[in-house]
Every structure is written in structure tokens, then in C-alpha cells.
Amino acid sequence: MKHLLRRNETLVAVTLVGLCLFIGLNNPTFFSVGNTFTLLRSSIVTGIFAMGVLIVIISGGIDVSFTAIGVFALYATVKLMLHFAPNTSIWVAFVIAALIGLGLGLINAFFIAQFRLPTLIVTLGTLSMFHGFLLFAIGNQIIRDVPPALTEFARATVVQIPQERGMANLHPAVFLMLVIVILVWLLLKYTILGRGIYALGGAPEAAERAGFNVTQIQYFIYGFVGLLSGIAGMTFGALARQANPQDIVGTELNVIAAVVLGGAYLTGGRGTVIGTLLGVVLVVIANNSLILIGVPTVWQRVVIGIIILVGTGIPAIQERRAGKRTASLAEA
């Protein structure tokens, strides 16, 4: 029981339940089906991004370029569709965006794996490089006249529930996020590659001695993050029904915060899909629902900052205490 209470996922779940009860008791609208579907829709893009960031952090790295990759893939895909095939399927658009994201992610992988450069420095550089290239070489105007497939996707629904005012609609992109979540969970839990990612985060030298090809794992990690970022960017643009080259970039903190809140250690070697999902939900609710209880938008970032400090500080304090107890027992 004590071990369960010390788990970061449990602490995040308790915090999440407490926050939901606090908001819901002050404004019952929070517990409505319509608001639940809205929160799910708001979680889609953050959730897809978070699955990629989780893998990077478990491996002991940090990636801040994923938003630039996402908006690059979105904008370039929409431009290609408008120029060559405006009536193509939305799934073709997702494939194109994923491939563009994969290519950009492999650029990160090249510098990290081949030159052993710090991941934060590389991705900070490519964040500026990708976004700058997008603005000055591909386009810097908002595209509102998007291909019909994006508009149809934005209007799609799989569940409709009548409300007092209008309908509550569940968007099918929720299932796209769930598929990605399941794939990442299977990868980390049941594959040799997943073990290699955890081993790389624990100790790169030990991972190499254990027979893992660190270079190949790093190429996979950053290529896969790029691929997921392309999908997330395309999802964002399709739901918004526009391609804005200034969108998404700047939201990296929310995604990284969700992953860290979920129990992933910035030092690497630890992190779970379930914890990350809880972190995503917590951050999305803090971003979207505090206004229901009268918290001004300008204060929401303060609240998120407090949640991050508390959510990451408590596990760190608990681990430090556990380390001291272990050291005391060893001395005894």
C-alpha cells in the first residue's frame, strides 16, 4: 500500500480527481457530457505529442523541436495538397505529414547519434531552423481555404448526444490518439527496442555493454518522434480547419510538463504511458477548465506552474528520503 501511494501515477491521479471535484462542485457544467467531449478533443494533439516526448525523456534526452516539426509538416502538406491534389483523402494527408515529420526527425537523429551532441542544444537549433525555413521558404501566410478533406475531417463525429443546447459530439481523432498510445505502450513494454530505450536512459555505456546499438536506437527515437509530430501537426490543422505557420510553436512546455508530471524522469530511465496520459489530462483541464471557476486566463499559467512544481517536487523529495533510508540501513 505504501509503495502504491509513493507511485507518481497515483499522486497525479489523486491530484486530478481533486481538481475535477473542485471545479465540478463550483460549476456543474464541468461534469457535462459536452464538456467531457470538449476536453477529449483538446487532449488529442497534446496526447500525440506527449507519446513522442515520453520516449525521448525515457532515453535520457530532451526534444523541444517537435512543435516546429508538427507545424512544418502541416503547412507543407496543405501547400502540396492545394497545388497537386486538392481533393485527395485526409489519410493521404496524414501519411504525407508523417513522412515529412519523419524526415525532419531524422535530421535531429543525425546530429545527436553521429556527433554525440547534447539533445537539448540540437533540438533548440533545429526548432529555430525548421520554423525559420518554413516561414521564409515555404510560406508565412495563414491558409484558411484548406482542402475539402480537412473540413470534412473537422466536422466528423462518431458519437452524438443531445444536450440542452445543441449536441455533444465525440470526434474520431480521439481513436487515432488511442491507437498511437497503445502502439507506444506495446513498444515500451514488450519489445527489445523498448528495453533498449529504457537502458539508454539509465546508462548509455551500460546499454552498449549489454549489446544495444545506441546509434540505431537514437535514430529510431528521433525519427519516430518526428513521425508522431507530423501526425499531431496534421491533426491540429485539420481540427482547426486552417494552416497557420505560427501555430503550435511555443506550446512545448505544456507537453513536456505533462510527461514529467506523469512520472518520467528528466534524467532518463523512467516513465510510463499511463502516467503520461494522466499528466496530459491534468494539463488540459488546467488549461481549459479553470475559467469555469473564474480563474482568469492570465493566471492559468501560474496555476499550471504550481501544479508542475508540486507534482514533480513531491516524488523527488520522496526519492531523496528513500535514498537516505537505504544509506542508513547500509551503514547499520
Q: What is the DSSP code string of 254-280? A: HHHHHHHHTT--TTSS---HHHHHHHH
Residues 265/271, Cβ–Cβ less than 8 Å: yes
267-290 pLDDT, tens digit per residue, is: 888 899 999 999 999 989 888 877
- The parent domain of residue 173 ranges over 2-331
More confident residue, 8 or 30: 30
Q: Is 168 helix (H, G, I), strand (E, B) or coil?
A: strand
The pLDDT tens digits of the residues spanning 95-105 come to 999 999 999 99
Element (H, E) at 161: strand 159-162
Is there a contact between 101 and 228 (Cβ–Cβ < 8 Å)? yes
Cell numbers standing for residue 204: 548509455
12-64-97-160 Cα dihedral, nearest 10 degrees: 30
List pLDDT tens digits, range 125-142: 999 999 999 999 898 899
Tell me what pLDDT residue 7 has: 65
DSSP 293: G
pTM value? 0.92
Average pLDDT rounded to a whole number, residues 203-210: 88
Give the number of domains in the chain. 1
| 9 Cβ contact list (under 8 Å, min separation 6) | 262, 263, 272, 274, 275, 278
Query: 3-class DSSP state for residue 63?
Result: coil
> Can you give the CATH number for the domain in which 45 is found?
1.10.3470
Average pLDDT, the chain: 88
- Other Cβ atoms closer than 10 A to 179: 9
**What pLDDT, on a 0 to 100 scale, did the predictor assign at position 311?**
62
Q: Say what the pLDDT of residue 316 is.
A: 67
Q: C-alpha cell of 251?
A: 506550446
Please name which of 135, 133, 136, 113 lies closest in space to residue 125, comparing C-alpha atoms: 133
d(CA 255, CA 201): 19
Distance CA 48, CA 188 (A): 16
The letter for the amino acid at 21 is L
Residue 303 near residue 295, CB atoms below 8 Å? yes
